[in-house]
């Protein structure tokens, strides 16, 4: 970028006690959309399937904070140790902690187990830089923040990685990501500032899949919203929000009321507030790809076996 002056490679001395301490900055959240934006005014990145994490480097110390600002430094030991080696006196790096499978795709299903028992599998993908060496970068354009971040991450080792961007057609990039069965993409408006909270300057487009599952029960959450409990080949797969039109919704609840006896052949999960039903009701479910358990799932159709 013309006129951009990057930090030198000389590592600055640690801060003194008289200097301010960096604090957590609420994260910038992308708006969910059905299709990626068109035109050349956007940069596109893979949407990593993990835990949003903010690395704060300050005065020789490194902290790792969750999306809600909780301190998970102890849980992310290998990442924190690697971050101590970055050539800066202070920085706030926005990114995602993930686990990758053998194909290199992020594996959300294995992430929690890795945090507790296999921390060496954790990787951190950095995608934005909010602060560097005493300077607040949030008001700088996206491309400038990422240029500083790329320079900083060029000296990273171990589990620290830079999230690459694609400067081209969003629909074509999304089709490629969908073909690889990844979670989706995040499109970021060129020239945009970093603003905490949800914003349309960042847009996320998710890869979805539709499957049919057996409805084995229903359950309501604390607010009373109903969910269908679903199984696949006698194994529990998860819950899905019931979003049916009125006519199908009536058929669904009539079936639940009349056939509320579970089948002994179905392996039922331990859910004390569930109502179990006999087999014969199947649901067409739209859900997020990339996990053994259903995520962000919605029932949008049903089939009833009248036999």
Please report the domains of the chain, with CATH numbers, ordered by start residue: 28-206 (3.30.470.30), 208-304 (2.40.50.140)
The pLDDT, as a whole number, for residue 13 is 46
For residue 281, what are the β-bridge partners? 304
Weakly modelled stretches of the chain, pLDDT under 50: 2, 8-19
∠ Cα 52 125 118 (to 5°): 80
Enzyme catalytic residues: 47
**Strand, helix or coil for residue 16:** coil
Average of per-residue pLDDT values in the chain: 89
DSSP 8-state assignment for residue 12: P
The pLDDT, as a whole number, for residue 117 is 94
What is the Cβ-side half-sphere exposure of residue 156, based on CA atoms within 13 angstroms?
Answer: 23
The pLDDT, as a whole number, for residue 181 is 81
Structure confidence by residue, pLDDT tens digits, 1-21: 545 555 544 444 444 443 458
The pLDDT, as a whole number, for residue 21 is 86
Q: Are 290 and 49 contacting, i.e. CB atoms less than 8 angstroms apart?
A: yes
Q: Are 48 and 183 contacting, i.e. CB atoms less than 8 angstroms apart?
A: yes
Determine the Cα–Cα distance for residues 245 and 251; give it in Å rounded to an integer.
10
Strands (E), 221-297: 226-232, 235-242, 275-276, 281-288
Determine the Cα–Cα distance for residues 17 and 20; give it in Å rounded to an integer.
8
Nearest to 13 by CA among 83, 63, 87: 87
Alpha helices in the chain (DSSP H): 77-83, 111-117, 142-153, 170-179, 246-258
DSSP 8-state assignment for residue 213: E
The pLDDT, as a whole number, for residue 12 is 46
């Amino acid at each position: 970028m013309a006129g951009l002056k990057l930090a030198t490679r000389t590592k600055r001395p640690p801060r003194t006690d008289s200097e301010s301490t960096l604090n957590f900055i609420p994260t910038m959240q992308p708006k969910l959309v059905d299709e990626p934006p068109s035109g050349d005014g956007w940069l596109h990145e893979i949407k990593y399937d993990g835990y949003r994490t903010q690395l704060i480097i300050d005065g020789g110390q490194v902290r790792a904070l969750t999306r809600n600002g909780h301190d998970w430094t102890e849980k992310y030991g290998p990442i924190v140790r690697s971050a101590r080696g970055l050539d800066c006196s202070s920085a706030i790096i926005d990114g995602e902690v993930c686990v990758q499978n053998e194909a290199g795709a992020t594996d959300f299903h294995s992430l929690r187990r890795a945090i507790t028992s296999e921390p060496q599998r954790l990787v951190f993908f950095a995608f934005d830089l909010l602060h560097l060496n005493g300077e607040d970068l949030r008001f700088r354009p996206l491309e400038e923040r990422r240029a500083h971040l790329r320079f900083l991450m060029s000296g990273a080792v171990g589990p620290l990685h830079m999230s690459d961007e694609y400067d081209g057609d969003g629909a074509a990039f999304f089709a490629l990501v969908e073909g690889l069965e990844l979670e989706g993409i995040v499109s970021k408006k060129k020239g945009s500032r970093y603003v905490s909270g949800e914003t349309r300057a960042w847009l996320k487009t998710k890869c979805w899949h539709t499957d049919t599952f057996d409805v084995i029960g229903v359950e309501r959450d604390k607010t009373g919203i109903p969910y269908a409990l679903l199984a696949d080949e006698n194994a529990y797969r998860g819950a899905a929000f019931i979003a049916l039109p009125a006519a199908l919704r009536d058929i669904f609840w009539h079936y639940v009321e009349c056939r509320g006896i579970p089948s002994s052949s179905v392996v039922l999960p331990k859910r004390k507030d569930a109502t179990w039903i006999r087999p014969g009701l199947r649901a067409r479910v739209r859900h997020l790809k990339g996990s053994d358990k259903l995520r962000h799932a919605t029932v949008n159709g049903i089939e009833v076996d009248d036999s």
